[in-house]
C-alpha cells in the first residue's frame, strides 16, 4: 500500500527524517509513536501529499484513496448527518445525477437517459447507498450525537463537536488508507471507548498517531517508532513494542560494553608494547584491528520528562465542601442537589458523556461559577489550579515560554523562570521557541506551568493528557500521585484514570453521585448499552398492535423494506461476481509469472469478503423485518 524509501524531510530548516524507509502492506493497522516534537504529524502530512520530501521516495499504491480528518471543522446550516453522508463523494455525485435525470422526465432523454438511470441505480445498489444513512447515523451515535443532534445545524455546535463530525465523515468514507492524528483529543471517555472498538474493526489500511495506551494496544498490529530521525518497525501492539524495544536496547547496551572492553584491551596492548622491538609487529597488528573496528552508535539520549505541581502547605480538610448545590447558567439549572467534599490527597475522576455537566461541575469546584442554590465552602486562602483543554489555543503564538512567564512574573529572575519551565520539561531551546512552533504536547506543558504559578493546593484538570506523548503521560501520573493536595480529573484516557483516581463521580441526568464500580466495570456497562441499542435498531421498525394496522398501512411499511432487500441482493450479486473474478485471477498460473501483485490481489479478496459479510448482514436484517411485518 505504501513505500517510504530513504526519505529526507526538513521542516523550517530542522531535519525530522533522514534515510527513513518503511513498507506498509495493504490491510495493516499501524501505530505511529514517538516523543512530542519528533515529526509524527509532519510524516502524516508527507504521506497525505500535503508537503513534499526533500529526498527519497514516497510511493502509494495506484488509485488508492487517502482519508484525513479535515483541519477546519465543518460548519454552516447543514446537519451532521448530511455532512457525513457527503463524505462519500461517489454516492453524493450519483444521487445528484439520478435526481437530475429524473427531473428531466422519461421523454427528455429517451432510451439513452433510461439506460444511464439504470446504470446509476445499479452502481448505487453496489455501493450500498440505501444503507448509507443508517451507517452514518451509527457512527455519529458512537461519537456522541443522539438522534436530535444529528439533525441540528452544524453552526449550533462548538468547535470540538464539529471536529467530531469531521472524524465521523472520514470514518464513514472508509478510504483505502486512513490517516488519524490523535483522534481522541476532542472526545470524551465514552466516545473514545466506541472509537477504539470501531477502529479495531476497520477493514482497510490505517496509520494512527496516538498516545493512548488502550487504543495502541487494541487497534494496531504493527508499531512504527520515530526516533533519532529514523523509523523502526515492530510487530504487534504497543505493549509488544515496549518489550521488544527494551530487549533491543539492552542487547545494544551489552554489545557496546563488550566492544568498549575489547577496545580497552587492544589499546592497552598497543600502549605497552609499541616501543618494544620484539612486540612491535603484534602492536601494529592490534592497532590496525582497532582502526578497522566499526563503532557502534551511542544510545539515543532523551532527557527524562518530569512534572512537578508543587502544592506544599495544604490546608486542613475539607478543602472544598458542597452542600445541596444547584448550578447552571442564567436561569438554566445544569446540575441539582450536589453534596460533595474534597480532602487533601483525594484523587477523583469524573465519568459521564459530554453535555452532562462535567465542565460545569469543574468550574464550580474552581470557584469560576457561583451556586444558584445551596452553599459551597472553600478552605481559607485555598489556591485552586484550573486547567481547561482549550487553554493551549489561547497561548500567544509569537511569544516564547520564557516571555509568557515573564509577562506574569514581572521582576522574577530568568534563572527562576527557567527553573519553573524545567519543572514541566521545557528546557534549553524549547523555552526560547515561539509557542506557535512548539508541538501540541509542549504547549500543554506550558499551559500546566502557567496553571502552577501560584502553587495551587487543589488541581482541576480537564483533559490534561491531550497532545502529551506516553513518556509525558507517565510523568503526569507520577506528578498527580505525588501531589499533596486534591485532584479532580476529567479525561478520556482510561489508563490515566486507572493509575491515579481512587474515587469516581458519575455526572448524568442532572445529578452527581459516587460511582461504586471501577473503570473496567463502567466500560463494560457502556459497551453493553451500545450493544443493546444496536440490537434494538437491528430489529427493524417498531410495529403497532396487529389489530390497529390496516392492510394499506402494512403495504406502506413493507415497500421500503422490500426495496432495501432488493438493493442488498443486487449489491451481493455484484460483490460475488467481483470475488469470482479475483479468485479466477489468483487461480491462473499466468498471474504468478507476469509480475502481478499477488499480495494486493489477496488483500482485495480479503476486503471483498468483509464487504460481502456486511452486505449479507444488511440483507438478513431487511428480510427479518419484512417477515415480522408481514406476520402482523
Task: Provide DSSP, 447-467.
Answer: HHHHHTTT--SEEEEESTTTT
Q: Between 80 and 631, name the one with better pLDDT.
A: 80
Mean pLDDT of 549-556: 55
Question: Hey, which bits of 464-529 come out as E strands?
Answer: 486-490, 503-508, 511-514
> Is the bond preceding 49 in cis, omega lying within 30 degrees of 0?
no
Mean pLDDT of 286-306: 65
Q: What pLDDT, on a 0 to 100 scale, did the predictor assign at position 178?
A: 93
d(CA 79, CA 342): 42
- Rounded to 5 degrees, φ, ψ at 43 are -65, -40
Contact between residue 311 and residue 360 where contact means Cβ atoms under 8 Å apart? no
Highest mean pLDDT: which range of 156-160, 453-457, 566-570, 581-585: 453-457
Q: Is the pLDDT of residue 623 over 80?
A: no
Contact between residue 341 and residue 318 where contact means Cβ atoms under 8 Å apart? yes
Tens digit of pLDDT for each residue in 416-454?
A: 888 888 888 787 778 888 888 887 888 888 888 888 888
Q: Which region, left, alpha or beta, applies to residue 330 given φ > 0 means left and ψ of -120 to 50 means alpha?
A: left
Lowest mean pLDDT among 249-263, 288-302, 411-425, 537-551: 537-551
346 and 470 inside one domain: yes
Domain membership of residue 576 as a residue range: 546-630
Q: What pLDDT, on a 0 to 100 scale, did the predictor assign at position 103?
A: 63
Which one, of 243, 201, 205, lies nearest residue 218 by Cα?
201
Mean pLDDT of 489-501: 89
Q: Is the pLDDT of residue 361 over 90?
A: yes
Q: Residue 459: beta bridge partners? A: 385, 487
* 528, 555, 570 - which closes a domain: 528
Tens digit of pLDDT for each residue in 199-246?
A: 998 889 999 998 888 889 889 999 999 988 888 888 888 888 888 877
365 and 512 inside one domain: yes
CA atoms within 13 A on the CB side of 594: 7
Q: Between 12 and 443, name the one with better pLDDT.
A: 443
Sheet architecture: strand order including 373-378: 332-342, 320-329, 373-378
Largest alpha-carbon pair distance within the chain?
117
Per-residue H/E/C for 513-540? EECCCCHHHHHHHHHHHHHHHHHHHHCC
Residue 495 lies in a domain: yes
d(CA 373, CA 50): 53
Lowest mean pLDDT among 101-110, 134-143, 146-155, 418-427: 101-110
Residue 499 lies in a domain: yes
CA atoms within 13 A on the CB side of 614: 17
Q: Between 108 and 180, name the one with better pLDDT.
A: 180
522 and 568 inside one domain: no
354 and 413 inside one domain: yes
Grid cell listed for 28? 495493516
Which one, of 632, 442, 488, lies nearest residue 551 by Cα?
632
Q: What pLDDT, on a 0 to 100 scale, did the predictor assign at position 493?
A: 87
482 and 361 inside one domain: yes
Mean pLDDT of the chain: 81
335 and 428 inside one domain: yes
Give Cβ neighbours of residue 448 (< 8 Å, ≥ 6 apart).
307, 387, 424, 464
Domains in the chain, number: 2
Q: What pLDDT, on a 0 to 100 scale, did the predictor assign at position 347?
A: 92
577 and 612 inside one domain: yes
d(CA 488, CA 467): 19
476 and 612 inside one domain: no
369 and 495 inside one domain: yes
523 and 550 inside one domain: no
Domain with residue 485: its CATH number is 3.40.50.300
443 and 571 inside one domain: no
Q: What pLDDT, on a 0 to 100 scale, did the predictor assign at position 517?
A: 83
Residue 273 lies in a domain: no
Q: What pLDDT, on a 0 to 100 scale, did the predictor assign at position 209?
A: 92
Distances (CA, A) of 565 to 176, 198, 252, 306, 534: 27, 25, 61, 59, 19
Q: What pLDDT, on a 0 to 100 scale, did the predictor assign at position 365?
A: 92
Mean pLDDT of 108-127: 70
Q: Is the pLDDT of residue 555 over 80?
A: no
* 528, 559, 582 - which closes a domain: 528
- Rounded to 5 degrees, φ, ψ at 469 are -75, 175
* Burial of 235: CB neighbours in 10 Å, binned 0-12, 13-18, 19+: exposed
Residue 184 lies in a domain: no
Q: What pLDDT, on a 0 to 100 scale, did the predictor assign at position 98?
A: 77
Q: Please name the helix (run of DSSP H) or strand (run of DSSP E) that holds residue 560, with its range, or none.
A: helix 551-587
Tens digit of pLDDT for each residue in 14-31?
A: 888 888 888 998 889 999
- Beta strands 205-209 and 222-227: pairing type? unpaired
Q: What pLDDT, on a 0 to 100 scale, did the predictor assign at position 539?
A: 46
Contact between residue 140 and residue 168 where contact means Cβ atoms under 8 Å apart? yes
Q: Is the pLDDT of residue 546 over 60?
A: no
Mean pLDDT of 384-408: 85
Lowest mean pLDDT among 97-111, 443-457, 578-592, 604-618: 97-111
Highest mean pLDDT: which range of 139-143, 274-278, 570-574: 139-143
Helices 189-200 and 159-173, axial angle in degrees (round to 10): 10
* 460, 493, 528 - which closes a domain: 528
Sign of the Cα pseudo-torsion (74, 178, 435, 451, in order) = positive
pTM for the model: 0.67
Residue 573 lies in a domain: yes
Q: What pLDDT, on a 0 to 100 scale, did the predictor assign at position 88?
A: 82
Residue 412 lies in a domain: yes
333 and 468 inside one domain: yes
Confidence bin at 542 (pLDDT 50/70/90): very low
Helix/strand/coil for 147? coil
Q: Is the pLDDT of residue 548 over 80?
A: no
Residue 403 lies in a domain: yes
Looking up cell 584491528 gives 289
Amino acid at each position: 500500500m505504501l513505500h517510504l524509501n530513504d526519505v529526507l524531510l526538513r521542516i523550517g530548516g530542522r531535519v525530522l527524517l533522514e534515510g527513513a524507509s518503511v513498507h506498509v502492506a495493504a490491510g495493516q493497522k499501524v501505530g505511529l509513536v514517538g516523543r512530542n516534537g519528533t515529526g509524527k504529524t509532519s510524516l502524516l502530512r508527507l504521506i497525505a501529499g500535503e508537503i513534499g520530501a526533500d529526498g527519497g521516495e514516497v510511493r502509494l499504491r495506484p488509485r488508492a484513496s487517502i482519508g484525513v480528518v479535515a483541519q477546519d471543522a465543518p460548519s454552516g446550516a447543514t446537519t451532521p448527518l448530511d455532512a457525513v453522508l457527503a463524505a462519500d463523494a461517489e454516492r453524493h455525485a450519483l444521487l445528484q445525477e439520478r435526481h437530475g435525470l429524473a427531473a428531466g422526465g422519461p421523454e427528455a432523454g429517451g432510451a439513452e437517459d433510461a439506460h444511464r438511470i439504470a446504470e446509476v441505480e445499479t452502481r448505487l445498489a453496489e455501493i450500498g447507498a440505501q444503507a448509507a444513512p443508517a451507517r452514518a447515523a451509527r457512527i455519529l451515535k458512537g461519537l456522541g450525537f443522539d438522534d436530535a443532534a444529528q439533525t441540528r445545524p452544524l453552526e449550533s455546535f462548538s468547535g470540538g463537536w464539529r471536529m467530531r463530525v469531521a472524524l465521523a465523515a472520514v470514518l464513514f468514507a472508509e478510504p483505502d488508507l486512513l490517516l488519524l492524528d490523535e483522534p481522541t483529543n476532542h472526545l470524551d471517555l465514552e466516545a473514545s471507548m466506541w472509537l477504539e472498538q470501531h477502529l479495531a474493526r476497520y477493514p482497510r489500511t490505517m496509520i494512527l498517531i496516538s498516545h493512548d495506551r488502550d487504543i495502541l494496544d487494541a487497534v494496531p498490529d504493527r508499531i512504527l517508532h520515530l526516533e533519532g530521525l529514523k523509523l523502526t518497525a515492530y510487530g504487534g501492539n504497543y505493549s509488544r513494542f515496549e518489550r521488544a524495544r527494551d530487549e533491543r536496547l539492552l542487547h545494544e547496551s551489552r554489545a557496546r560494553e563488550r566492544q568498549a572492553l575489547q577496545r580497552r584491551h587492544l589499546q592497552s596492548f598497543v600502549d605497552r608494547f609499541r616501543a618494544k622491538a620484539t612486540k612491535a609487529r603484534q602492536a601494529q597488528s592490534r592497532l590496525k584491528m582497532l582502526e578497522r573496528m566499526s563503532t557502534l552508535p551511542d544510545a539515543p539520549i532523551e532527557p527524562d520528562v518530569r512534572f512537578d505541581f508543587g502544592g506544599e502547605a495544604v490546608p486542613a480538610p475539607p478543602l472544598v465542601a458542597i452542600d445541596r448545590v444547584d448550578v447552571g447558567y442564567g436561569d438554566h439549572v445544569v446540575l441539582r442537589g450536589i453534596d460533595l467534599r474534597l480532602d487533601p490527597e483525594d484523587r477523583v475522576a469524573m465519568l459521564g458523556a459530554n453535555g452532562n455537566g462535567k465542565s460545569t461541575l469543574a468550574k464550580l469546584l474552581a470557584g469560576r461559577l457561583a451556586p444558584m442554590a445551596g452553599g459551597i465552602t472553600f478552605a481559607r486562602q485555598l489556591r485552586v489550579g484550573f486547567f481547561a483543554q482549550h487553554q493551549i489555543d489561547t497561548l500567544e503564538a509569537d511569544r516564547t515560554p520564557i516571555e509568557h512567564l515573564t509577562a506574569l512574573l514581572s521582576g522574577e529572575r530568568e534563572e527562576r523562570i527557567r527553573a519553573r519551565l524545567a519543572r514541566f520539561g521545557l528546557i534549553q531551546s524549547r523555552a526560547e521557541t515561539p509557542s506557535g512552533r512548539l508541538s501540541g504536547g509542549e504547549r500543554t506543558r506550558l499551559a500546566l506551568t502557567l496553571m502552577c504559578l501560584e502553587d495551587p493546593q487543589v488541581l482541576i484538570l480537564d483533559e490534561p493528557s491531550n497532545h502529551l506523548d506516553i513518556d509525558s503521560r507517565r510523568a503526569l501520573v507520577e506528578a498527580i500521585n505525588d501531589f499533596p493536595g486534591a485532584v479532580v480529573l476529567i479525561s478520556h484516557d482510561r489508563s490515566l484514570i486507572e493509575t491515579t483516581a481512587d474515587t469516581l463521580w458519575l455526572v448524568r441526568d442532572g445529578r452527581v453521585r459516587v460511582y461504586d464500580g471501577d473503570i473496567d466495570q463502567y466500560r463494560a456497562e457502556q459497551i453493553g448499552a451500545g450493544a443493546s441499542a444496536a440490537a434494538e435498531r437491528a430489529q427493524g421498525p417498531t410495529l403497532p398492535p396487529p389489530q390497529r394496522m390496516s392492510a394499506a398501512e402494512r403495504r406502506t411499511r413493507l415497500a421500503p423494506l422490500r426495496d432495501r432487500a432488493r438493493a442488498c441482493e443486487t449489491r451481493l450479486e455484484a460483490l460475488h461476481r467481483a470475488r469470482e473474478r479475483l479468485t479466477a485471477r489468483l487461480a491462473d498460473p499466468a498471474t504468478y509469472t507476469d509480475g502481478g501483485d499477488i499480495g494486493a490481489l489477496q488483500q482485495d479478496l480479503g476486503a471483498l469478503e468483509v464487504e460481502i459479510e456486511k452486505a449479507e448482514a444488511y440483507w438478513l436484517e431487511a428480510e427479518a423485518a419484512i417477515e415480522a411485518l408481514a406476520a402482523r
